[in-house]
Amino acid sequence: MFLGIPVLGCLVMRRARSRWPELPNIGLLAICFITIVVIDIVLEGVVVMRLGIYDHTGPSIALLDSYYSHNALANIVLVAVTITAVTALRYFRNDRGETLVERGSEQFGRSGARPSTLRFFAVFAAMQMCLLLGYHVPMAIWTTITPNSAWHEDMQQNSYLNDHICGVGTARVCPQG
């Protein structure tokens, strides 16, 4: 999903650019963000989270909750921010087809393994920074400022979802909703 959805996001931004040529880049990114929010709600909230592999705490859309899943609003927004950033990295290129982080790699040669390797690691590092700054750091801040968010019932019952921090088999009660 992390690599495939940006391809779809680029397609949406290309279509928007052809339909509204005067639309500023921030408008393109807003359309992409909204598209990714919808995709995340459908894929993660309706399909993936119902597998019961992971869960989130915090406020959510009640319509998307089930016994086995709880997709918090913070997760939906931060996933969309992260994937929009990766989509922007892929979409905005110079006349040579280079992303922002690949520019200057020709200083190490025009072809061959050295510039290609450098370009690969530049894009890889940029994607990791998008993930770190777009999802993990904001989610850590959100979790820190809302430490007593209610835990979903299934999350309290299954030790593989709470790592024995609280709930069944421990002396500590999980935050109740």
> Percentages helix, strand, coil for the chain, rounded to the nearest 5?
65, 0, 35
pLDDT at 136: 94
Contact between 56 and 151 under an 8 Å Cβ cutoff? The reply is: no
pLDDT interval class at 105 (50, 70, 90): low
pLDDT at 8 over 60: yes
The predicted model gives 14-38 an average pLDDT of: 96
The predicted model gives 105-121 an average pLDDT of: 76
For residue range 85-97, list pLDDT tens digits in order.
999 999 998 888 7
pLDDT at 23 over 80: yes
pLDDT at 78: 94
pLDDT at 110: 67
For residue range 145-158, list pLDDT tens digits in order.
887 777 767 666 76
pLDDT at 146: 80
Three-state DSSP at 19 gives helix
Is the C-alpha dihedral spanning 50, 52, 56, 58 positive or negative? positive
